[in-house]
Amino acid sequence: MTDLELRPPAPARKPLPPTGPLRPLSPRRTPWQRVHAAVLRLDAATPAGRDRAADVLRALAITGVVLGHWLVSGVVLQAGGHLVGDSPLGHRPGLAPVTWLLQPLAVFFLVGGRVSARSYEAALARETGYRTWLRQRLRSLLRPATAFALTWGLVWLGLVLAGTAHETIHTLMWLAYSPLWFLGVYALLLAATPLVHGAGARLAVAACLLVAVLDGSRLVFPDSGWVDTLRLLNIPAGWLVPFCLGAVWAAGGFTRRRSAVALLLGGGGVLAALILWGGYPASMVGVPGSTLSNLNPPTVAAVAFGLAQTGAALLLRAPLRSAVTAPATAAPRTRATPAQFLWAAVALLNLSAITVFLWHQTAMLTTTVISLGLGHTFPGLHTSPESAGWLAARCGWIPVFVVVLVVLGTAFRDRDAIRAHRSNN
C-alpha cells in the first residue's frame, strides 16, 4: 500500500482590494467622430487673439485666384494636334464683370501687408535682425517655388526630348509658370516691410501717384517703347498700395467704418469713371487681342479697383469673423459646429496657400494632357471657349481639377513653410 504524504495547508490568500464598479469599454469612434474631434482640436489650438477675419479674407482671395484662372485659361486642341491657349473673355466681352469677383489680388496683398508688418514688429520685439527676419520669410516662399520650378524644368526637358510641338510646349510652360510673377513681387514687397511698417499710409499715397503718372505717360507719349518699359515699375508700385494699407491695418488703423466706406466708394467711383469715360477695359485681367491690359502692368484703374476691394474687405471683417467663430460654452463640445468646420477649411487652405497658388494651373494642365490619352476631345477641356456652353462644361471639370490639386498639394507640400506660417501669423 502506497504511503500517503501529507502536505501542510496552503496559506490563505489575501483578499483583492476593492476595484469599484467595472467601467464599460469605450466604443471605437467612427470616422465622422474622428473628423469632429480633429476640427475641435484645430479650433482649440487657434490663439484667442488671432484675427480670424484676415485668414478668411486670404482664403477667399486664394479661392478667387484659382477659380479665376481655371475659368478663363482655356487650352484648345488644334487640328494639327498641338495645344494653344485661349480665353472666353476674348470671345465674350460680356463676361468682364466676372473678373470683378475672380481677381482678388489686392485682398491677398492687403492681408500679406498686415501679416508682414505684424511679423516684423514681433521680430523687433525679440531683437531679431532685419536680415534674419527677411531670410526666414523668404525661405518659406523660395523653397516651394524652387521645387515647383525644378519639377516643371524636368517636364520641359521630357517634352523636348519627346519631340513635342513647340506650340504645345510654349502653352504649357506659359500657363504653368505664370503664378511665379506673384511670388517675385511679393518677395520684393517683403523686403520693403521696414519702410512700409513706418510710413504705410504715406507710401500708399505715393505709390498711387506714381502709377497714375506712369500710366498717363502712355497718353502723352504714345507708341514709345521707353514708356512701356518705364510702366513696368507699376507692377511693384501698384501692389504696394494694398500692401501698405495692410500695414496700416496692422498698426491699428481702419477702426472706423468711414475709412473703409471711403475706400470702397472712392475706388469704385474712380474705376467706374475710368471705364465709362477714360477708355479703360472693364475686365480686371488681361484679354487676348486687347490693346490695353489692366493687370500687366497694373493701370490706375486696377489700383482704383484694389482700393474698392480693400474697402469691401475691411467692411466684411466683422461678419467674416463671426462666421468662423463658435460661441463659447461651459461644457466641452463633442461635436463641431458649422462655424468650426468652416474655420478648419480656412485654416487648412491658409497653411497650404503657396502650394495651392503654385500648383493650381498644373492641376488643370495635368487633367487636360492626361485626358488626351483617352482619344476623345472633351468640351470645356480641349475645345474652343468661344461657344456659350464652354463655361458650363468648364465648371463641370472644376471638381476634377480640385482632386488633382489635392494630390499635387499632398506630394509637394512644404512642412517647414507650414511651421513658418504658424509662427509668423
Domains of the chain, residue spans: 51-324+351-424
What phi and psi values does residue 209 have, to the nearest 5 degrees?
-65, -40
Q: What is the pTM of this model?
A: 0.88
pLDDT for the residue numbered 7: 47
DSSP 282-350: S-SS--TT-S--SBTTB-HHHHHHHHHHHHHHHHTHHHHHHHT-PPP-SSPPSS--HHHHHHHHHHHHH
Interhelix angle 166-177/353-372, nearest 10 degrees: 160
pLDDT for the residue numbered 47: 87
Give the model confidence (pLDDT) of 186-225 as tens digits. 999 999 999 998 888 899 999 999 999 999 888 887 777 7
Rounded distance between C-alpha atoms, residue 326 and residue 43, angstroms: 9
Q: Residues 284-291: contacts with CB within 8 Å, 24+ apart?
A: 284/96, 284/99, 284/100, 284/103, 285/68, 285/72, 285/89, 285/99, 285/102, 285/103, 287/87, 287/89, 287/90, 287/93, 288/86, 288/87, 288/89, 288/90, 289/90, 290/90
Give the model confidence (pLDDT) of 271-315 as tens digits. 999 999 998 999 999 888 788 889 989 999 999 999 999 999 999
DSSP 205-246: HHHHHHHHHHHHHHHHSTT-HHHHHHGGGHHHHHHHHHHHHH
Question: Is 232:295 a contact under the CB 8 Å cutoff?
Answer: no
Question: Is 305:100 a contact under the CB 8 Å cutoff?
Answer: yes
pLDDT averages per 10-residue partition of the chain, 425 residues: 47 57 63 84 86 95 95 89 90 89 94 95 91 92 92 95 92 93 93 90 94 89 80 94 96 91 96 94 88 91 97 96 83 81 93 93 95 87 89 94 94 63 53
pLDDT for the residue numbered 1: 42
pLDDT for the residue numbered 9: 53
Residues 18-57, buried b or exposed e (16+ Cβ, 10 A)?
A: eeeeeeeeeeeeeeeeeebeebbebbeebeeeebbbbbbb
Count H helices and E strands in the chain, helices first. Answer: 16, 2
